[in-house]
Every structure is written in structure tokens, then in C-alpha cells.
């Protein structure tokens, strides 16, 4: 099923690759990683010849199928930065937090309209007491890692109600470093911008195989000094990347456009993103056409197989709808309809943080493993890969998630099946049980503590 975002954009099909090419850089994939890498390469060195090969169409993958959060965050960054000096940590914090502003600057400069609103994010203690404790624990960890209240702060119930109204909520952790966007508009806008700068994008040109210096499609091949596999979850179909990235998927729903009367009872007037802060990993926003867009923990198929049919099962729809109604009972009272449901494949790296790798000896540069934060993280990745390819020493290339002058094999491989499948099934069942126990406020204190402790242990073992 097509996402709400892709339904709202006009796509004019581009030709496929029909004859052999020779270029400086060939990029595999016309999602955000590939588009941003091409953009920053062109900005730094306009005379570079660049070609982008896309198996389907621009934004077909996760770039056009996500929840529309543009985050100034990088998964696992604080752990990676622990050995850095305070000055280095603060510089990295600024680099990461500036991601939404950098995207906004590019959109303004290139006249890209993608409904970008920087209203911050509300991580709400929305449904049960444990969420309040988890969020306060997170705030304490942020303080230890040199963040200030300008980065993350606590909002009490009254302060939260001024931005977002959830009947059961006790407060929220707020960060200003997040924006909401219409991601398909950004992908299409970037593609059009690149074409105006002379960069060729070939659609329906799936890469069958690649090696140092050359990639091959059904109909032609491209020789290049540099190859950038920007394929994220689709790397599971492209050796040897398949060993290092595991395909999982997200699942998202959207309501019909809501009346002003309903929005007056919800809020989100300034483009805020929000989460209900359970381990079901939920995320939502108010779209430009006044829908409530809401996603929660997706899934995993045995062997990391890509999911192609994103029609929600009854169970998948019920989980998201029940969460949505618990947070916003006004939607159930008004019998608000769900008009769109979709999902997307994304990649999970074994070390649970993004990677940006550059192998100069073989002319290969790649990035991925964004763990659901890719709308923002891909922008930083594009800047980083451009600097690595051009052999520049910058703040981008000096980050601990960057592996410069190293082969792809420097990444950690995933365990073989059925270990992954059994681990996922066990964790998923336990997390669902935890949420069931905690959302029942009448459940015994000992039971609540036990289930949380078990889930904490499972989380730490897996990571």
C-alpha cells in the first residue's frame, strides 16, 4: 500500500539506465542517503560527474514511508562519545542538534517545500507511572552527558497540556531539536534539485551486482571511481552488505483530516512530534492537512526478509488503534476514521548505531543503520560521505560512528538464524506483556517491578 506521503506528491517517471556510463561517483539508491550525498558532493565540487541508480523510483523505500520525524539525534551517540573530551562532546552535540536547521537551510536555499515545522518533540509519560520514572532517568543520563535544559527539559502536566492534551499524561520530556516534515516532498524536491544541477537519476534500474569500480544493472553497467551503496534495508539483497544490516519494518496509520474542534482538544499547533514513551516505540505528528499520523513498533521477518505487502493485519491495526485511542479518547468518541496505513523496510545494524564507512583503496563509501532516525541522520551521513570521498578532514569525518580508511568488513555481522528470529519473538512477546501489565493500573506492584526488570535485562543482553 502506498504511504500517505507518496499519495500526496506527483511523480513523473524517469528513464532507466539503457547504456553504459563512466562517471566519478555512482550512487545506488535514490533515497535520502543517496540524494543527500549527491547534493553535498555537488556543492563541494560541481564538476564531479554523478549518477544515481534506483531500483524503483525516488523515495520508494524508507524515505517515502516513514513517520515524518526530522530528528537532531543519532542513535547510540552518547555511548560512542563517552571517551571524548567535554569540548568534543559539546561540538558533536551541536553537530547532531543542528540537523533539522541544516535541512531547513537547504530547503530555503533550493526552494524545496516539504511542510517543515520545527516544533520540537514531546516524549510523554502518557499512560502509566513507570513512564514518568523512565523519562526522569533519561533526563538524569542526559545531564551526565553534558546536555542542558535547553536540550532536554521536563514539562509538568499543566505545561504539557499547553502543547498536547492526553487525559492520562503526567508530564513529558521536551527537546527542541526535532522537526516534522512531509518526507516524500523532501525526497522529490531533492531529486528535482539534483537534476537541475546536472546529476542524472535513473529509475527502474536495479543493481544486480557491484564491485570496486563498477556496478551492473539488467541493461547496462556504470564504471566509477567511487561507488556509494545507499540502500539501507535493501542492502540485504546486495552482497556483501547483507551480512551487516538486518531488515526490519515500521508500521504507521493516519486518520482522516480532523476538525478544528477535535484539534482544540488535542493541540500540536506548532508542528510538534510526540511519543507516548512506552517500549512499543510510538511516534506521531499532525500533518499539514490536519491528519494525526501515528506509528509504533514494527516487525521482523525470518531471515530478515524484506516485507513487500504493508497491508496491516488485524493485530497490527488493533495495536496502533488501541494506543491512539488510549492517548486520545476524543478520536474514539467522534468515530474518527483511519484512512491510510503503510509501512517501510529499514535497516538495523548489529551495534545499534549508524555507520559511515569509507574504503579509499576500493573506492567504496556507504552509510546506514539509522534505527528509525534516518530522515535526519541521512543528512549528516550525506555530508560525511561527501567529505570522506573528497578526502577532507572535517568535524563530520572525525565522529566515532565514522570508519575512515576501513573496509565494509569493519562492521559487526549479525548472528545467524534462528538466533535472531527466536530473540525477536521472545523480546516482542515480553514487551507486549510488559505493556499489558503496566497499562493495567490495578496490577500488583511486585508484578510491575518484575516485568520491567526482565525487559531491562533482555534489552541489555541484546544490545
Tens digits of residue pLDDT in 320-341: 999 999 999 999 999 999 999 9
Architecture of domain 116-179+247-349 in this structure? 2-Layer Sandwich (3.30)
Average pLDDT over residues 391-398: 98
CATH pick for 4-103+182-238+350-410 out of 2.30.30.110, 3.30.1330.10, 3.40.50.300, 3.50.50.60: 3.50.50.60
Q: Residues 6 or more apart from 96 whose CB is under 8 A from it?
A: 72, 73, 74, 77, 177, 380
Lowest mean pLDDT among 289-293, 383-387, 423-427: 423-427
Q: How far apart are CA 81 and CA 75, in angstroms?
A: 12
State residue 220's pLDDT score.
98
Whether 362 and 214 have beta carbons less than 8 Å apart is answered as: no
Average pLDDT over residues 116-140: 98
Whether 258 and 291 have beta carbons less than 8 Å apart is answered as: yes
| Beta bridge mates, 180 | 69, 117
Q: Encode pLDDT of 415-429 as tens digits.
A: 899 988 898 888 889
Peptide bond into 336 cis (omega under 30): no
Which of 223, 134, 215, 116 lies closest to 170 in space, CA to CA? 134
Whether the model clears a pTM of 0.75, i.e. scores above it, the answer is yes
Annotate 333-346 with DSSP letters as a single string: HTTPPEEEEEEEEE
Amino acid at each position: 500500500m502506498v504511504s500517505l506521503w507518496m499519495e500526496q506528491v506527483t511523480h513523473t517517471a524517469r528513464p532507466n539506465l539503457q547504456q553504459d556510463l563512466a562517471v566519478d561517483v555512482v550512487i545506488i539508491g535514490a533515497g535520502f542517503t543517496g540524494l543527500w550525498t549527491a547534493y553535498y558532493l555537488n556543492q563541494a565540487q560541481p564538476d564531479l560527474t554523478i549518477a544515481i541508480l534506483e531500483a524503483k523510483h525516488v523515495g520508494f523505500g524508507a524515505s517515502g514511508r516513514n513517520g515524518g520525524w526530522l530528528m537532531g539525534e543519532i542513535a547510540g551517540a552518547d555511548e560512542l562519545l563517552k571517551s571524548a573530551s567535554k569540548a568534543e562532546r559539546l561540538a558533536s552535540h551541536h553537530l547532531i542538534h543542528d540537523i533539522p536547521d541544516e535541512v531547513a537551510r537547504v530547503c530555503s536555499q533550493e526552494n524545496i517545500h516539504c511542510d517543515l515545522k520545527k516544533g520540537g518533540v514531546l516524549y510523554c509519560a502518557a499512560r502509566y507511572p513507570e513512564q514518568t520514572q523512565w523519562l526522569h532517568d533519561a533526563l538524569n543520563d542526559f545531564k551526565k552527558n553534558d546536555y542542558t535544559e535547553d536540550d532536554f527539559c521536563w514539562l509538568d502536566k499543566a505545561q504539557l497540556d499547553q502543547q498536547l492534551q492526553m487525559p492520562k499524561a503526567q508530564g513529558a520530556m521536551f527537546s527542541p531539536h526535532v522537526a516534522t516534515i512531509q518526507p516524500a516532498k523532501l525526497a522529490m524536491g531533492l531529486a528535482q534539485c539534483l537534476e537541475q544541477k546536472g546529476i542524472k537519476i535513473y529509475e527502474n534500474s536495479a543493481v544486480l551486482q557491484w564491485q570496486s569500480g563498477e556496478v551492473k544493472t539488467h541493461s547496462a553497467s556504470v564504471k566509477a571511481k567511487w561507488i556509494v551503496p545507499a540502500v539501507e534495508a535493501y542492502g540485504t539483497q546486495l552482497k556483501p552488505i547483507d551480512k551487516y544490516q538486518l531488515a526490519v519494518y515500521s508500521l504507521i496509520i493516519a486518520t482522516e483530516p480532523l476538525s478544528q474542534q477535535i484539534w482544540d482538544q488535542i493541540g500540536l499547533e506548532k508542528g510538534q512530534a510526540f511519543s507516548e514513551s512506552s517500549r512499543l516505540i510510538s511516534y506521531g505528528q499532525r500533518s499539514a492537512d490536519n491528519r494525526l499520523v501515528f506509528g509504533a513498533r514494527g516487525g521482523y521477518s525470518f531471515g530478515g526478509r524484506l516485507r513487500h505487502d504493508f497491508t496491516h493485519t488485524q493485530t497490527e491495526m488493533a495495536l496502533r488503534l488501541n494506543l491512539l485511542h488510549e492517548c486520545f479518547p476524543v478520536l474514539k468518541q467522534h468515530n474518527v476514521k483511519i484512512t491510510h496505513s503503510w509501512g517501510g523496510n529499514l535497516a538495523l545494524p548489529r551495534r545499534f548505531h549508524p555507520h559511515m564507512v569509507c574504503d579509499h583503496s576500493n573506492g567504496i563509501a556507504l552509510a546506514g543503520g539509522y534505527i528509525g532516525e534516518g530522515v535526519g541522520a541521512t543528512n549528516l551521513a550525506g555530508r560525511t560521505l561527501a567529505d570522506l570521498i573528497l578526502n577532507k578532514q572535517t568535524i563530520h569525518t572525525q565522529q566515532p560512528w565514522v570508519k575512515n580508511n576501513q573496509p565494509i568488513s569493519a562492521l559487526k555481522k549479525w548472528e545467524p538464524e534462528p538466533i535472531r528470529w527466536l530473540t525477536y519473538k521472545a523480546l516482542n512477546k515480553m514487551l507486549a506483556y510488559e505493556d499489558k501489565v503496566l497499562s493495567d493500573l490495578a496490577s500488583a506492584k511486585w508484578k510491575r517491578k518484575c516485568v520491567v526488570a526482565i525487559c531491562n535485562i533482555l534489552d541489555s543482553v541484546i544490545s
